[in-house]
Amino acid sequence: MWVIAISAFWTSLGAILFKFQFLPSNLPKLIGRTLYWVGFPLQIFALAHKSNIAKAIWLPPLTTIQMLLLGLLLASLSLYYLKRFTRDLLSDEILDKLCPTNRSSQGSFILASILGNTGYVGLAIVPALVSKTYLAWVVLYGVAHNLLGSYGLGVFLASYFGRPGVATNWWIQLRDIMIVPSLWAFGIGWSSRHVQFPAAIELGLQFSVKCAIPAAFLLIGMQLCQIQSIRNLHSALVPTILKMLVLPGIAGLALTILGLSSDARLAMVLMSGMPTAFASVILAEEYNLDRQLAASSILLSTIMLPLMIPFWLALFG
């Protein structure tokens, strides 16, 4: 797909430029903070300002919440019980890679399992695969996932795992959520959706969003090229399976039981099966989590995406 080809180009470019030291070593940190405070908030603002989701029903946000909580549960159970049940089958070395024990890696492990790229990749791919009747559902799922997942639960978990000295102070995680720029961007964009901006501002918004996406892929490439060995990809295997196979599969089965079929069900399944979000790397940069695990999960889940889409189309389309 064209979107995947573009993402591969920018990711490869970032990896090559950083690998051969054409870029300064502190650039990933700078790009990550810029995207967190400026790039992604602008994307959320533009989406909230232009989207007409007033007639969308309760199912997309409810599905989002259920997938986030289920992903959190399954990722936590995997961390604490996978070793116990597979100790006789796998060596301790492999188990340590599959189920990290240090706090920063556990945080990235959980974030990679639950946060999906429903923004750029999801909103670029899914509308072309489902009926226009359910486009509002796709948009609402994407917005809800970004707000409740990436910059709601995601910030809470990143703050919890990234600050071991103060992790038990719930008000610090709450404060971190309240100052997330994307939450404020959504509120302002939603409240101003009936306001017609001048053409220059509209153009500036679109230009900013288009710049943020390549910058995000460049950041992923820079992080990927810092992976010391292919063995580091092992730690991303379980989060990728949970994100790309288990969660969308459960979503499809649950929606089928509820009586949904065709494009209504397919839209929710595809959105819940998007690859690991850029936000996992952004949050890893911001809260000092395991950056390599976050980047590896994005790599593996993105590779799986073109393989899984035909599977979901055949199963739930």
Would you say residue 279 has pLDDT above 90? no
- The pLDDT of residue 167: 47
Q: Which domain holds residue 245?
A: 2-316
Would you say residue 7 has pLDDT above 50? yes
Total domains, the chain? 1
Would you say residue 127 has pLDDT above 90? no
Distance CA 97, CA 77 (A): 16
Query: pLDDT tens-digit profile of 231-252?
Result: 567 889 999 999 999 999 999 9
- The pLDDT of residue 94: 63
Query: pLDDT tens-digit profile of 137-148?
Result: 887 898 889 888
Would you say residue 106 has pLDDT above 80? yes
pTM confidence score: 0.77
Which domain CATH number covers 145? 1.20.1530.20
Would you say residue 19 has pLDDT above 60? yes
Task: Tell me what the mean pLDDT of segment 286-307 comes to.
Answer: 87
Task: Tell me what the mean pLDDT of segment 128-141 comes to.
Answer: 81
Q: pLDDT grade, residue 52 (50/70/90)?
A: low
